[in-house]
Amino acid sequence: MVTTLTADRVRSDLEVVSRAGLDLDEFVDEALASLRRAVPFAGACAGTIDPMTLLLTGSRKFGQLADVDPRDHEFGLQEYGRPEPTSFTELAAAAEPAGAVHESTRGRTSDSPRLTNFISPFYGFGDELRVVLREGGGPRVWGGFALFRAPDDAPFAREEVEFAASVSSTLAAGIRVGLLTRFATATGAAARDGGRDDAHEAPAVLVFDAADRLSFATPGAHDRLAEIDAYERPADHSADIVGSLVAAARRFLRGEVATPPRTRVRARDGRWFVLHASPMDAAGGLTGPDTASSPVVVTIEGARPPDIVPLVVAAFGLTPRERDVTALVLQGADTKTIAQTLHLSAYTVQDHLKTIFDKANVRSRRELIARVYVDQYAPRPRAEVRPDGSLVA
Protein backbone atom coordinates (compact mmCIF):
# COMPACT_ATOMS: atom_id res chain seq x y z
CA MET A 1 0.00 0.00 0.00
CA VAL A 2 1.32 3.46 -0.93
CA THR A 3 0.78 5.77 2.05
CA THR A 4 0.18 9.45 1.41
CA LEU A 5 3.34 10.38 3.34
CA THR A 6 5.52 7.97 1.34
CA ALA A 7 3.98 9.03 -1.96
CA ASP A 8 4.60 12.72 -1.20
CA ARG A 9 8.20 12.11 -0.14
CA VAL A 10 9.03 9.96 -3.16
CA ARG A 11 7.35 12.42 -5.52
CA SER A 12 9.39 15.24 -3.99
CA ASP A 13 12.62 13.22 -4.26
CA LEU A 14 11.94 12.48 -7.92
CA GLU A 15 11.32 16.17 -8.63
CA VAL A 16 14.74 17.01 -7.17
CA VAL A 17 16.54 14.21 -8.98
CA SER A 18 14.92 15.10 -12.32
CA ARG A 19 16.29 18.66 -12.07
CA ALA A 20 19.75 17.72 -10.81
CA GLY A 21 21.40 17.56 -14.24
CA LEU A 22 22.46 13.93 -13.82
CA ASP A 23 23.60 11.86 -16.76
CA LEU A 24 21.31 9.09 -17.93
CA ASP A 25 22.74 6.23 -15.85
CA GLU A 26 22.93 8.29 -12.66
CA PHE A 27 19.40 9.56 -13.08
CA VAL A 28 17.91 6.11 -13.70
CA ASP A 29 19.77 4.69 -10.67
CA GLU A 30 18.51 7.46 -8.38
CA ALA A 31 14.99 7.46 -9.82
CA LEU A 32 14.46 3.71 -9.43
CA ALA A 33 15.89 3.75 -5.90
CA SER A 34 13.32 6.41 -4.97
CA LEU A 35 10.47 4.78 -6.88
CA ARG A 36 11.11 1.47 -5.14
CA ARG A 37 10.15 2.99 -1.79
CA ALA A 38 6.63 3.67 -3.05
CA VAL A 39 6.27 0.76 -5.50
CA PRO A 40 8.42 -2.20 -4.35
CA PHE A 41 9.76 -4.48 -7.08
CA ALA A 42 12.08 -7.48 -7.46
CA GLY A 43 13.51 -6.44 -10.81
CA ALA A 44 13.30 -3.50 -13.17
CA CYS A 45 14.20 -2.50 -16.70
CA ALA A 46 14.53 1.15 -17.77
CA GLY A 47 14.40 1.92 -21.47
CA THR A 48 15.04 5.10 -23.43
CA ILE A 49 12.74 5.71 -26.40
CA ASP A 50 13.06 7.87 -29.50
CA PRO A 51 10.17 10.34 -28.97
CA MET A 52 9.58 10.72 -32.70
CA THR A 53 9.36 7.00 -33.55
CA LEU A 54 8.57 5.34 -30.17
CA LEU A 55 11.32 2.79 -30.85
CA LEU A 56 13.68 1.62 -28.14
CA THR A 57 17.10 3.31 -28.06
CA GLY A 58 18.63 1.57 -25.05
CA SER A 59 17.90 -0.28 -21.83
CA ARG A 60 19.33 -0.71 -18.34
CA LYS A 61 18.48 -3.47 -15.86
CA PHE A 62 18.23 -3.66 -12.09
CA GLY A 63 17.50 -6.12 -9.29
CA GLN A 64 16.98 -9.72 -10.32
CA LEU A 65 17.79 -9.09 -13.99
CA ALA A 66 21.18 -9.77 -15.56
CA ASP A 67 22.83 -6.89 -17.38
CA VAL A 68 23.66 -9.08 -20.38
CA ASP A 69 21.01 -11.62 -21.30
CA PRO A 70 20.95 -13.83 -24.42
CA ARG A 71 17.21 -13.11 -24.64
CA ASP A 72 17.60 -9.35 -24.97
CA HIS A 73 17.03 -9.61 -28.71
CA GLU A 74 13.88 -11.64 -28.05
CA PHE A 75 12.62 -8.94 -25.68
CA GLY A 76 12.69 -6.45 -28.54
CA LEU A 77 10.85 -8.90 -30.78
CA GLN A 78 8.16 -9.44 -28.13
CA GLU A 79 7.72 -5.75 -27.38
CA TYR A 80 7.38 -4.50 -30.94
CA GLY A 81 6.16 -7.60 -32.74
CA ARG A 82 3.15 -8.39 -30.54
CA PRO A 83 1.83 -5.21 -28.90
CA GLU A 84 -0.65 -5.61 -26.05
CA PRO A 85 -2.41 -3.06 -23.79
CA THR A 86 0.58 -2.67 -21.44
CA SER A 87 3.21 -2.44 -24.18
CA PHE A 88 5.14 0.82 -24.25
CA THR A 89 3.76 1.67 -27.69
CA GLU A 90 0.17 1.24 -26.50
CA LEU A 91 0.65 3.09 -23.21
CA ALA A 92 2.26 5.97 -25.11
CA ALA A 93 -1.16 6.80 -26.59
CA ALA A 94 -3.29 5.76 -23.60
CA ALA A 95 -5.10 8.19 -21.31
CA GLU A 96 -3.16 6.80 -18.33
CA PRO A 97 0.57 6.33 -18.99
CA ALA A 98 0.88 3.29 -16.70
CA GLY A 99 -0.58 -0.18 -16.46
CA ALA A 100 -0.02 -3.52 -14.73
CA VAL A 101 -0.68 -6.89 -16.33
CA HIS A 102 -2.58 -8.47 -13.41
CA GLU A 103 -4.83 -5.46 -13.02
CA SER A 104 -5.43 -4.83 -16.73
CA THR A 105 -6.38 -8.49 -17.32
CA ARG A 106 -8.49 -8.65 -14.12
CA GLY A 107 -6.29 -11.44 -12.85
CA ARG A 108 -6.29 -13.44 -16.09
CA THR A 109 -2.58 -12.97 -16.72
CA SER A 110 -2.71 -15.74 -19.34
CA ASP A 111 -4.26 -13.08 -21.58
CA SER A 112 -0.83 -11.43 -21.72
CA PRO A 113 1.47 -13.38 -24.08
CA ARG A 114 4.42 -11.24 -22.98
CA LEU A 115 4.03 -12.24 -19.33
CA THR A 116 2.85 -15.82 -19.90
CA ASN A 117 5.19 -16.89 -22.70
CA PHE A 118 8.25 -14.79 -22.00
CA ILE A 119 8.61 -13.03 -18.65
CA SER A 120 7.24 -15.73 -16.33
CA PRO A 121 8.93 -18.82 -17.83
CA PHE A 122 12.34 -17.23 -18.44
CA TYR A 123 12.61 -14.76 -15.55
CA GLY A 124 10.23 -16.15 -12.94
CA PHE A 125 8.18 -12.98 -12.38
CA GLY A 126 4.45 -13.06 -11.69
CA ASP A 127 3.39 -9.52 -12.53
CA GLU A 128 4.68 -6.47 -14.38
CA LEU A 129 3.93 -2.76 -14.11
CA ARG A 130 4.81 -0.49 -17.03
CA VAL A 131 4.98 3.30 -17.08
CA VAL A 132 5.87 5.38 -20.14
CA LEU A 133 7.75 8.59 -19.40
CA ARG A 134 5.58 11.17 -21.14
CA GLU A 135 6.50 14.76 -20.40
CA GLY A 136 3.78 17.27 -19.64
CA GLY A 137 1.06 14.74 -20.31
CA GLY A 138 1.63 15.26 -24.04
CA PRO A 139 2.53 12.82 -26.80
CA ARG A 140 6.34 13.06 -26.48
CA VAL A 141 7.70 9.91 -24.80
CA TRP A 142 11.33 9.80 -23.65
CA GLY A 143 11.44 6.36 -22.07
CA GLY A 144 9.70 3.68 -20.07
CA PHE A 145 10.12 1.73 -16.83
CA ALA A 146 9.08 -1.91 -16.39
CA LEU A 147 8.83 -3.15 -12.80
CA PHE A 148 8.52 -6.84 -11.91
CA ARG A 149 7.30 -8.84 -8.91
CA ALA A 150 7.84 -12.45 -7.94
CA PRO A 151 4.87 -14.86 -8.10
CA ASP A 152 4.71 -15.06 -4.28
CA ASP A 153 4.44 -11.28 -3.95
CA ALA A 154 1.16 -9.39 -4.17
CA PRO A 155 0.36 -8.16 -7.70
CA PHE A 156 0.70 -4.46 -8.39
CA ALA A 157 -2.34 -2.65 -7.01
CA ARG A 158 -4.41 0.09 -8.63
CA GLU A 159 -2.98 2.73 -6.29
CA GLU A 160 0.56 1.73 -7.32
CA VAL A 161 -0.34 2.04 -10.99
CA GLU A 162 -1.84 5.47 -10.27
CA PHE A 163 1.28 6.58 -8.41
CA ALA A 164 3.54 5.44 -11.26
CA ALA A 165 1.33 7.38 -13.69
CA SER A 166 1.53 10.48 -11.50
CA VAL A 167 5.35 10.64 -11.76
CA SER A 168 5.51 9.90 -15.50
CA SER A 169 6.11 13.53 -16.45
CA THR A 170 8.75 14.03 -13.75
CA LEU A 171 10.67 10.95 -14.83
CA ALA A 172 10.43 12.05 -18.47
CA ALA A 173 12.07 15.37 -17.60
CA GLY A 174 14.97 13.55 -15.94
CA ILE A 175 15.47 11.29 -18.94
CA ARG A 176 15.36 14.29 -21.27
CA VAL A 177 18.02 16.13 -19.26
CA GLY A 178 20.15 13.00 -19.01
CA LEU A 179 20.02 12.59 -22.76
CA LEU A 180 21.64 15.99 -23.20
CA THR A 181 24.33 15.54 -20.57
CA ARG A 182 27.74 15.34 -22.12
CA PHE A 183 29.57 12.08 -21.58
CA ALA A 184 32.98 12.65 -20.02
CA THR A 185 34.55 10.09 -22.36
CA ALA A 186 33.57 11.85 -25.59
CA THR A 187 36.82 13.78 -26.02
CA GLY A 188 38.95 10.79 -25.03
CA ALA A 189 37.14 8.57 -27.53
CA ALA A 190 37.68 11.17 -30.23
CA ALA A 191 41.41 11.24 -29.55
CA ARG A 192 41.62 7.45 -29.72
CA ASP A 193 39.71 7.43 -32.99
CA GLY A 194 42.03 9.98 -34.57
CA GLY A 195 39.29 12.49 -35.37
CA ARG A 196 37.05 9.98 -37.11
CA ASP A 197 33.85 11.39 -38.60
CA ASP A 198 31.30 8.56 -38.28
CA ALA A 199 28.74 10.32 -40.45
CA HIS A 200 30.97 9.67 -43.45
CA GLU A 201 32.04 6.09 -42.68
CA ALA A 202 30.48 3.13 -44.46
CA PRO A 203 27.30 1.93 -42.69
CA ALA A 204 27.39 -1.29 -40.70
CA VAL A 205 24.89 -3.88 -41.93
CA LEU A 206 23.36 -6.89 -40.14
CA VAL A 207 21.03 -9.43 -41.80
CA PHE A 208 18.51 -11.47 -39.78
CA ASP A 209 16.90 -14.64 -41.14
CA ALA A 210 13.28 -15.82 -41.00
CA ALA A 211 13.80 -16.99 -37.40
CA ASP A 212 15.15 -13.52 -36.49
CA ARG A 213 18.66 -14.89 -35.98
CA LEU A 214 21.69 -12.93 -37.10
CA SER A 215 22.94 -14.63 -40.27
CA PHE A 216 25.31 -12.10 -41.88
CA ALA A 217 27.15 -8.97 -40.79
CA THR A 218 29.61 -6.62 -42.46
CA PRO A 219 33.13 -6.35 -40.99
CA GLY A 220 33.06 -4.15 -37.93
CA ALA A 221 29.29 -4.39 -37.47
CA HIS A 222 29.62 -6.03 -34.05
CA ASP A 223 31.98 -3.27 -32.94
CA ARG A 224 29.50 -0.61 -34.05
CA LEU A 225 26.67 -2.42 -32.29
CA ALA A 226 28.75 -2.58 -29.09
CA GLU A 227 29.26 1.19 -29.25
CA ILE A 228 25.53 1.91 -29.14
CA ASP A 229 24.64 -0.74 -26.56
CA ALA A 230 24.48 0.03 -22.84
CA TYR A 231 26.31 -3.22 -22.03
CA GLU A 232 29.26 -5.18 -23.29
CA ARG A 233 27.96 -8.47 -24.69
CA PRO A 234 29.25 -11.48 -26.68
CA ALA A 235 29.25 -11.20 -30.48
CA ASP A 236 26.32 -13.61 -30.80
CA HIS A 237 24.11 -11.60 -28.38
CA SER A 238 22.04 -8.95 -30.15
CA ALA A 239 20.65 -6.05 -28.14
CA ASP A 240 16.95 -5.42 -27.57
CA ILE A 241 17.32 -2.28 -29.70
CA VAL A 242 18.01 -4.49 -32.71
CA GLY A 243 15.22 -6.90 -31.83
CA SER A 244 12.72 -4.07 -31.68
CA LEU A 245 13.77 -2.89 -35.15
CA VAL A 246 13.51 -6.38 -36.63
CA ALA A 247 10.04 -6.87 -35.15
CA ALA A 248 8.87 -3.46 -36.36
CA ALA A 249 10.20 -4.22 -39.86
CA ARG A 250 8.10 -7.39 -39.97
CA ARG A 251 5.02 -5.42 -38.90
CA PHE A 252 5.75 -3.01 -41.76
CA LEU A 253 5.98 -5.93 -44.20
CA ARG A 254 2.62 -7.24 -42.94
CA GLY A 255 1.07 -3.82 -43.54
CA GLU A 256 0.42 -3.14 -39.85
CA VAL A 257 2.48 0.07 -39.83
CA ALA A 258 2.95 2.60 -42.61
CA THR A 259 6.73 3.15 -42.62
CA PRO A 260 9.88 1.08 -42.06
CA PRO A 261 11.32 1.52 -38.57
CA ARG A 262 14.05 4.06 -37.93
CA THR A 263 15.53 5.32 -34.68
CA ARG A 264 18.36 7.46 -33.36
CA VAL A 265 20.68 6.12 -30.68
CA ARG A 266 23.39 7.81 -28.65
CA ALA A 267 26.57 5.79 -28.16
CA ARG A 268 28.31 5.46 -24.83
CA ASP A 269 30.95 8.01 -25.89
CA GLY A 270 28.35 10.67 -26.80
CA ARG A 271 28.12 10.20 -30.57
CA TRP A 272 24.81 9.70 -32.38
CA PHE A 273 23.88 6.92 -34.80
CA VAL A 274 20.81 6.22 -36.92
CA LEU A 275 19.46 2.67 -37.20
CA HIS A 276 17.17 1.53 -40.01
CA ALA A 277 15.49 -1.85 -40.54
CA SER A 278 14.01 -3.03 -43.82
CA PRO A 279 12.58 -6.38 -44.92
CA MET A 280 14.14 -7.81 -48.07
CA ASP A 281 11.26 -8.28 -50.51
CA ALA A 282 11.62 -10.72 -53.40
CA ALA A 283 11.15 -9.51 -56.95
CA GLY A 284 7.44 -9.20 -57.62
CA GLY A 285 6.66 -8.88 -53.93
CA LEU A 286 5.94 -11.31 -51.10
CA THR A 287 2.41 -11.90 -49.94
CA GLY A 288 0.57 -13.87 -47.28
CA PRO A 289 2.61 -16.41 -45.30
CA ASP A 290 5.66 -15.80 -47.52
CA THR A 291 6.29 -12.53 -45.68
CA ALA A 292 7.46 -14.50 -42.64
CA SER A 293 10.43 -15.87 -44.62
CA SER A 294 11.77 -12.47 -45.61
CA PRO A 295 15.19 -11.58 -44.18
CA VAL A 296 15.46 -8.25 -42.39
CA VAL A 297 18.40 -5.90 -42.89
CA VAL A 298 19.47 -3.58 -40.05
CA THR A 299 21.74 -0.67 -40.99
CA ILE A 300 23.74 1.42 -38.51
CA GLU A 301 25.27 4.67 -39.71
CA GLY A 302 26.61 7.89 -38.25
CA ALA A 303 23.95 10.54 -37.71
CA ARG A 304 23.92 13.79 -39.68
CA PRO A 305 22.57 17.15 -38.50
CA PRO A 306 19.06 16.68 -40.01
CA ASP A 307 18.81 13.42 -38.06
CA ILE A 308 19.66 14.73 -34.62
CA VAL A 309 18.75 18.42 -34.60
CA PRO A 310 14.97 17.84 -34.04
CA LEU A 311 15.71 15.40 -31.21
CA VAL A 312 18.26 17.62 -29.49
CA VAL A 313 16.05 20.69 -29.79
CA ALA A 314 13.07 18.73 -28.43
CA ALA A 315 15.20 17.68 -25.46
CA PHE A 316 15.61 21.32 -24.42
CA GLY A 317 11.95 21.29 -23.40
CA LEU A 318 11.01 24.30 -25.54
CA THR A 319 7.50 25.56 -26.24
CA PRO A 320 6.29 25.40 -29.88
CA ARG A 321 7.06 29.12 -30.36
CA GLU A 322 10.52 28.72 -28.83
CA ARG A 323 11.18 25.84 -31.21
CA ASP A 324 10.20 28.09 -34.12
CA VAL A 325 12.66 30.75 -32.96
CA THR A 326 15.39 28.16 -32.44
CA ALA A 327 14.88 26.75 -35.94
CA LEU A 328 15.45 30.19 -37.43
CA VAL A 329 18.50 30.83 -35.24
CA LEU A 330 19.99 27.56 -36.49
CA GLN A 331 19.46 28.83 -40.04
CA GLY A 332 21.50 31.95 -39.20
CA ALA A 333 18.56 34.37 -39.11
CA ASP A 334 19.01 37.64 -37.20
CA THR A 335 16.48 39.14 -34.78
CA LYS A 336 14.80 41.29 -37.42
CA THR A 337 14.34 38.33 -39.79
CA ILE A 338 12.98 36.13 -37.00
CA ALA A 339 10.53 38.85 -35.98
CA GLN A 340 9.29 39.34 -39.53
CA THR A 341 9.01 35.62 -40.24
CA LEU A 342 7.07 34.83 -37.05
CA HIS A 343 5.13 38.13 -36.96
CA LEU A 344 6.60 39.08 -33.58
CA SER A 345 8.19 42.21 -32.22
CA ALA A 346 11.96 42.31 -31.84
CA TYR A 347 11.50 42.60 -28.06
CA THR A 348 9.40 39.42 -27.99
CA VAL A 349 12.06 37.57 -30.00
CA GLN A 350 14.70 38.68 -27.49
CA ASP A 351 12.51 37.45 -24.62
CA HIS A 352 12.15 34.08 -26.34
CA LEU A 353 15.90 33.91 -26.92
CA LYS A 354 16.62 34.55 -23.26
CA THR A 355 14.32 31.69 -22.26
CA ILE A 356 15.82 29.41 -24.92
CA PHE A 357 19.34 30.18 -23.73
CA ASP A 358 18.35 29.37 -20.14
CA LYS A 359 16.76 26.05 -21.11
CA ALA A 360 19.70 25.08 -23.34
CA ASN A 361 22.23 26.27 -20.73
CA VAL A 362 24.01 28.60 -23.16
CA ARG A 363 24.71 32.35 -23.23
CA SER A 364 24.61 33.25 -26.92
CA ARG A 365 23.36 32.25 -30.36
CA ARG A 366 26.79 30.89 -31.22
CA GLU A 367 26.78 28.68 -28.13
CA LEU A 368 23.24 27.53 -28.97
CA ILE A 369 24.32 26.50 -32.47
CA ALA A 370 27.33 24.66 -31.05
CA ARG A 371 25.15 23.04 -28.37
CA VAL A 372 22.76 21.65 -30.96
CA TYR A 373 25.40 20.42 -33.40
CA VAL A 374 28.15 19.38 -31.00
CA ASP A 375 26.77 15.86 -30.59
CA GLN A 376 27.10 15.25 -34.31
CA TYR A 377 30.70 16.41 -34.31
CA ALA A 378 31.77 14.93 -30.97
CA PRO A 379 34.61 13.00 -32.67
CA ARG A 380 36.07 16.41 -33.62
CA PRO A 381 35.19 18.57 -30.60
CA ARG A 382 37.59 21.41 -31.29
CA ALA A 383 36.29 22.10 -34.81
CA GLU A 384 34.30 25.26 -35.42
CA VAL A 385 30.72 24.85 -36.59
CA ARG A 386 28.94 27.12 -39.06
CA PRO A 387 25.25 28.04 -38.51
CA ASP A 388 24.21 25.40 -41.07
CA GLY A 389 26.02 22.67 -39.12
CA SER A 390 28.97 22.29 -41.48
CA LEU A 391 32.54 22.31 -40.23
CA VAL A 392 34.95 25.19 -40.68
CA ALA A 393 37.96 23.68 -42.43
User: Domain with 297 in it: what CATH number?
Assistant: 3.30.450.20
294-313 mean pLDDT: 86
- Do 174 and 30 share a structural domain? yes
- Do 229 and 262 share a structural domain? yes
- Do 242 and 98 share a structural domain? no
- Do 108 and 13 share a structural domain? yes
- Do 220 and 175 share a structural domain? no
- Do 147 and 81 share a structural domain? yes
Query: Domain for residue 330, yes or no?
Result: yes
What's the chain look like in SS3? CCCHHHHHHHHHHHHHHHCCCCCHHHHHHHHHHHHHHHCCCCEEEEEEECCCCCCEEEEEEEECCCCCCCCHHHHHHHHHHCCCCCCHHHHCCCCCCEEEHHHHCCCCHHHCHHHHHHHHHHHCCCEEEEEEEEHHHCCCEEEEEEEEECCCCCCCCHHHHHHHHHCHHHHHHHHHHHHHCCCCCHHHHHHHCCCCCHHHCCCEEEEECCCCCEEEECCCHHHHHHHHCCCCCCCCCCCHHHHHHHHHHHHHHCCCCCCCCEEEEECCCCCEEEEEEEECCCCCCCCHHHHHHCCEEEEEEECCHHHHHHHHHHHCCCCHHHHHHHHHHHCCCCHHHHHHHHCCCHHHHHHHHHHHHHHHCCCCHHHHHHHHHCCCCCCCCCCCECCCCCECC
- Do 173 and 26 share a structural domain? yes
Query: Domain for residue 384, yes or no?
Result: no
Q: What is the pLDDT of residue 16?
A: 95
- Do 367 and 258 share a structural domain? no
pLDDT tens digits for range 281-291: 654 454 444 55
Q: What is the pLDDT of residue 145?
A: 97
Q: What is the pLDDT of residue 351?
A: 96
pLDDT tens digits for range 69-125: 778 888 888 888 878 999 999 999 999 999 999 999 999 999 999 999 999 999 999
Whichever domain contains 25, its CATH number is 3.30.450.40
Q: What is the pLDDT of residue 233?
A: 64
Query: Domain for residue 378, yes or no?
Result: no
Supply the pTM of this predicted model: 0.79
- Do 320 and 286 share a structural domain? no
Q: What is the pLDDT of residue 383?
A: 45
pLDDT tens digits for range 289-298: 455 678 999 9
Total domains present in the chain: 3
- pLDDT at 185 > cutoff 50: no
- Do 29 and 175 share a structural domain? yes
Q: What mean pLDDT value characterizes the chain?
A: 84
Residue 312's pLDDT band, with cuts at 50, 70 and 90, is: confident
Query: Domain for residue 390, yes or no?
Result: no
Q: What is the pLDDT of residue 82?
A: 79
Q: What is the pLDDT of residue 108?
A: 95
- Do 251 and 168 share a structural domain? no
Query: Domain for residue 13, yes or no?
Result: yes
Full domain range(s) for residue 330: 308-373
Residue 370's pLDDT band, with cuts at 50, 70 and 90, is: confident
Query: Domain for residue 199, yes or no?
Result: yes
185-203 mean pLDDT: 50
